[in-house]
Homo-oligomer: A and B are copies of this chain.
Amino acid sequence: MKLLFVILDGLGDRPVSELNGFTPLEAAYTPNMDKFSELGMNGLMDVISPGVTPGSDTAHLALFGVDPFKFYTGRGPFEAAGVGLKVKEGDVAFRVNFATIDNSGVIIDRRAGRIHEHTKELAELLNGLEIDDVQIIFKEGTEHRAALVLRGEGLSDCVRGNDPKKEGKKPYPFKALNEDSSSKRTAEVLTKFVEKAQRLLANSDVNIERKRKNLLPANYLLVRGAGKVPKLPNFEKEFGLKSACIAGGGLYKGVGRLLNMTVIEKEGITGGFDTNLKLKFSTAREALKDYDFVFVHVKATDNYSHDGNAKGKKNFIEKIDVELEQFLPDNTNDLVVMIAGDHSTPCVFKDHSADPVPLLIYSPSCRKDDVKRFGERYSYKGIIGRIYGKDLMNVLLNELQLIKKFGA
């Protein structure tokens, strides 16, 4: 028995008037997901707990059975692992944006004109620097994104970054969030690094060329999401499942890597609207031959929500549904299929909410309930009822007949 673990980011939603009071998932024509609902078990899931709005990082930890209250230190480590940096326990990691700052020190664009070329060259200027005996490890991500890792003695993640999250403002000074020497040292190192980076970026060939082309230069670094790399459980060993992760977004690949899943990357699998869904799911199909557990993450559902684009979300869900046909029980045997959101992102809010997410679990021998469609207001009537994200992996292991007895 193998397990296909599908997370549609920000899937959960609320009624939308332009969809006649349905949610995007309810409104979408999803014959394949509906088939899984019909043959499987349905419910709602509080990924963290009722009334708690999950971030994407804490949500995924919880879904993989890792207690975020115990293990979560910040988003940086996952972003760094996501771009492929080999982080070590104790490293302090950050998310970074290449940004544009003007001569007076005001941020013009937090994304440097959504730069998407030659960031590798920029990153190479910064990677390998050393400041006050701290090693700077720096790597570009997708578009304007990058990751920064500080490696050395006496560092802390109790620092506030320099990103004011708004344009037209000056960057914040880095700030130690408590009084200990390691917080202060980390803030100092970051300050020196960003100053040095500013000089190096200003004079870079890439930026001279961008200015020539009238593009905004990537002349500044906005740093946030400090987190000390935690010692995370080994997902494969913990659950005894040879595990693969297929995701476009850096964060999700990072979570997979830090939990010791094998991340399968292919050109065209992105975290955006443009991701090649056909390739993503055929890669999953292929991976199920070699792996017991295949995590497939689709990000764009959440992106549509953040844009408030309910129809776009509905249409994208329909595209995902098409790719799920190949996993129907008619086509494959001995496969457990789980489909859920990592959190809700109602289009009416354009942001995460604490609404529980729709959840379906299909296995050949499961207690099929009366629910026949996948959607927030169909799912809640199912036999799963309302569970916590932290319990999901155990529930799935039960379907895989791999759960251990407690007691005798």
From B68, B354, B365, B376, A395 is in contact (CB under 8 Å) with: B354
Let me know if A369 is at the binding interface, CB within 8 A: yes
Let me know if A397 is at the binding interface, CB within 8 A: yes
Q: Mark A381-397, 1 if CB is under 8 A from B, else 0.
A: 10101111001111111
Known: A50-B391, A391-B49, A391-B50. A352 touches B405 (CB 8 A): yes
Chain B binder among A52-60, A207-215, A259-267: A52-60
Name the interface residues of A4-23: CB closer than 8 Å to any CB of B: 14-15, 21, 23
How many whole Å from A92's CB to the nearest CB in chain B? Answer: 16
Q: Would B366 and A403 count as touching, CB distance under 8 A?
A: no
Number of copies: 2
Q: Mark A263-292, 1 if CB is under 8 A from B, else 0.
A: 000000000000000000000000000000
User: Complex formed: what's the CA distance from A407 to B74 in Å?
Assistant: 7
Q: Would B50 and A394 count as touching, CB distance under 8 A?
A: yes
From B52, B75, B346, B398, A403 is in contact (CB under 8 Å) with: B52
Name the interface residues of A42-78: CB closer than 8 Å to any CB of B: 44, 48-59, 68, 72, 74-75
Q: Would A55 and B394 count as touching, CB distance under 8 A?
A: no
Q: Would B353 and A398 count as touching, CB distance under 8 A?
A: yes
Of chain B, the residue at the smallest CB distance from A13 is B367
Name the interface residues of A328-366: CB closer than 8 Å to any CB of B: 346, 348-349, 352-355, 365-366
Main secondary structure of the interface of A (DSSP, over half): loop
User: Complex formed: what's the CA distance from A61 to B199 in Å?
Assistant: 57
User: Complex formed: what's the CA distance from A15 to B363 in Å?
Assistant: 12
User: Complex formed: what's the CA distance from A366 to B49 in Å?
Assistant: 18
Q: Would A386 and B388 count as touching, CB distance under 8 A?
A: no
User: Complex formed: what's the CA distance from A365 to B16 in Å?
Assistant: 8
How many whole Å from A276's CB to the nearest CB in chain B? Answer: 27
From B385, B398, B404, B405, A355 is in contact (CB under 8 Å) with: B398
Q: Would A53 and B15 count as touching, CB distance under 8 A?
A: no
How many whole Å from A324's CB to the nearest CB in chain B? Answer: 23
Of chain B, the residue at the smallest CB distance from A74 is B408
Contacts of A366 in B (CB 8 A): 14
Let me know if A368 is at the binding interface, CB within 8 A: yes
Contacts of A248 in B (CB 8 A): none
Let me know if A401 is at the binding interface, CB within 8 A: yes
Let me know if A380 is at the binding interface, CB within 8 A: yes
Q: Would B349 and A404 count as touching, CB distance under 8 A?
A: no
How many whole Å from A352's CB to the nearest CB in chain B? Answer: 6
User: Complex formed: what's the CA distance from A383 to B398 in Å?
Assistant: 25
Q: Would A56 and B386 count as touching, CB distance under 8 A?
A: no
Q: List 17 A-B contacts (CB under 8 A).
A: A14-B367, A15-B367, A15-B368, A23-B367, A48-B406, A50-B395, A51-B397, A53-B404, A54-B407, A55-B407, A55-B408, A59-B407, A68-B407, A72-B407, A353-B398, A369-B380, A380-B385
